[in-house]
Amino acid sequence: MASELVTAWRPRVPGVAEVFHAHFVDHAYPLHVHDAWTLLIVDDGAIRFDLDRHHRGAAGAASVTILPPDVPHDGRAATHHGFRKRVVYLDAAVLPPSLSGAAVDRPGFDDVVLRLRIHQLHQALHRPGDELEAESRLALIRSRLREHLDRHYLGEDAVPQPRRLADGLRDLLDARTATGITLKEAGALLGSHPGHLVRAFTTAFGLPPHRYLMSRRIEQARRLLLAGRRPADVAAEVGFHDQAHLHRHFRRHVGATPGAYAAQGGVPNRLPSM
Give the number of other CB atoms < 10 A from CB of residue 112: 11
Q: Residue 154: what pLDDT?
A: 60
HSE-CB at 152 with a 13 A cutoff on CA atoms is: 3
Mean pLDDT of the chain: 89
Average pLDDT, integer, range 133-137 = 95
Of 169, 162, 173, 170, the closest CA to residue 196 belongs to 162
Residue 1 has pLDDT above 80, yes or no: no
| Domains in the chain, CATH or no CATH each | 4-148 (2.60.120.10), 155-206 (no CATH), 212-262 (1.10.10.60)
Cα separation, 27 vs 36, whole angstroms: 22
- pLDDT, one tens digit per residue, over 158-198 is 445 788 899 999 999 999 999 999 999 999 999 998 988 99
Lowest mean pLDDT among 50-54, 80-84, 108-112, 215-219: 50-54
Q: Is the pLDDT assigned to residue 40 strictly greater than 80?
A: yes
Task: Give me the phi and psi of 18, to 5 degrees please.
Answer: -165, 150
Cα–Cα nearest to 18, from 125, 103, 93, 101: 125
- Strands 29-32, 54-59: parallel, antiparallel or unpaired by DSSP? unpaired
Residue partners of 54: CB distance under 8 A and separation at least 6: 104
pLDDT for residue 156 is more than 60: no
- Residue 157: its pLDDT value, please? 46
More confident: 89 or 28: 89
End-to-end, the C-alpha distance of the chain in Å comes to 65
Residues in the chain: 274
Predicted model pTM: 0.81
